[in-house]
Chain A
Amino acid sequence: MSVEFLEKRAVISGIGQSEVGRRLGRDPLDLTLDACLAALADAGLERGQIDGLATYPGAMATPPGFSGAGIAEVQDALRLNLDWYSGGLEQPGQLGSVIEACLAVACGVATHVLCFRSVWEATAQGKGRRAGIMGGAEASSGFRATGELQWTLPFRAYSAANWIALLAQRHFHEYGTTREQLAQIALVARRNAARNPNAIYRDPLSLEEYLAARPISTPLCLYDCDVPADGATALVVSRAEAARDLRRRPLRVEAVGCAIHGRPSWDQWDDLTSMAARDAGSMLWRRTQLRPADVDVAELYDGFSFLTLAWLEALGFCGKGESGPFVEGGARIALDGELPLNTQGGQLSGGRLHGYGFLHEACVQLWGEGGERQVPGSPQVAVAAAGGGPLAGCLLLTAPH
């Protein structure tokens, strides 16, 4: 029995990004519309041609700044006539919304789907606070934890930093991974950010500074955690036939990965050194003839540096447990290395655009528009992946021929 992998009918026809920064103090819907209109202009589409709208996580009031706009606001602001839309949190990570859009155009329920992710965490969290814990409830409010949070918050594990630190520590224990190895994710991201005018942290970062940084939750230190940002990212997913005569030569969606076979939990996951990325990554390669060695550039989620190590293993760029040695020294994952990684500076240095930034950058690289940070040699195949713990979604893209 053969199954047709219908995501191959989908293409990315345009991308857009708003101003990105710390505490811009701008209306998040304004940022969102900037990104959306930039993506439409990039594709050469009029808003009347958009018939689908997708986002993650949809409208949410808390945590502060986590969602800059939901479906309804954007639809109404642009007066879109939609045949299909989807916005929500329970998806295969942030890029799950883009995967859904691919399926929507492949099924013919929409032709051009505008996808967006918008954050304003830097402004919303105010001065010097990262927080965003407890679903926004204050410690003094008598708030009681329900659902999955009852298994973490009462144990003072307030942040994803804690949950991911537990996974990282186990990985260190089983495979001998070191902080010096983990550091390379942050250091390479910082070097790439220096070449990206839109990145937030662009000053050089040394291994010594990394190792001396204050611990957040061992073994993770300050530089293992991404930086809250204000900014929006958008892209247009189109059905391939409908994108032939647009402004750009579209990027093909070669395969998607959205599987989760283990338990949907940070602490109940079977193998604590892996994550749902394992299942999503493995699914992606079942849907294509391409292999990890064919990938020219990898944009892998780094909300925390350890997540990138987990994605490297999940996508088969190295063996299980071998991500530490794989990135050691940083040369292999540098811009001119064998597998250029997080070329825009990731979220660690580029800003926490929450998943969509990686897909945006994959497109930039395949279109050859990376400027100072362009991967040499005209990359033809890129992978973008987002999510941590039980959240995982990834896409494999190919350049136009």
Chain B
Amino acid sequence: MTQTPFRVLPRVTPRNEHFWTGGARGELRFLRCGACGFFVHPPTPRCPTCLAKELRPEAVSGRARVVSYTWNHQAWVPAPDHPYPIAIVEIAEQPGLRLMTNLVGCGRDEVHIGMAVRATFEQHGDVYIPLFEPVREP
């Protein structure tokens, strides 16, 4: 097992709790509009598409694709694993439903734009950080 690196953790609030704690059940959760079905991220009190207030957390499949990535070499804070990959991924359920994240379990030559990935979680107390690992075809 690789060592878990230091992370700045988010402050969990009523508005973002579903997102940062969903990993306890292995779920990547976003707010979804009960009126129009739009997934909302980052979370807000109203659906930005139809302005309805019926937003409820809903788990998605966790499947996603890499939209962009970078290998961070600079030691902004001390860590044992430079360089490490940062990525923006697009969640399968909705075009444009994106997250910045880290890719895990993949080598330097493997990471590419368009790569199929799925969510996995790294627990830090009450917070579960959603990370993404490659989906390898059998």
Q: Which residues of A contact B (CB under 8 A)?
A: 131, 133-134, 139, 143-146, 148, 150-159, 161-162, 165-167, 169-170, 173, 214-220, 267-268, 270, 272
Contact = CB atoms under 8 A, between A and B. Distances in A.
Contacts, number: 114
10 contacts: A139-B77, A154-B9, A156-B7, A156-B84, A167-B68, A169-B68, A169-B70, A217-B70, A217-B71, A272-B88
Interface string B119-136: 000000001010000000
Contacts of B84: 156
A157 B13 CA distance: 21
Contacts of B127: 154
A215 B98 CA distance: 26
B96 A270 contact: yes
A22 B32 CA distance: 50
A215 to B, nearest CB: 4
Interface of B: 5-11, 13, 16, 41-42, 67-74, 76-79, 83-84, 86-88, 96, 98-102, 113, 127, 129
A131 B9 contact: no
Contacts of A217: 70-74, 86
B86 A150 contact: no
A154 B70 contact: no
Contact of A267 (B71, B88, B113): B88
A156 B102 contact: yes
Contacts of A169: 68-70, 113
Given A143-B8, A155-B100, A170 B83 contact: no
A125 B80 CA distance: 24
A162 B16 CA distance: 24
Nearest to B7: A154
Contacts of A158: 8, 76-77
Given A162-B70, A217-B86, 10 more contacts: A133-B77, A139-B6, A143-B8, A146-B13, A156-B84, A156-B86, A159-B74, A159-B76, A169-B68, A169-B70
Contacts of A219: 70
Contacts of B86: 155-157, 162, 165-166, 217
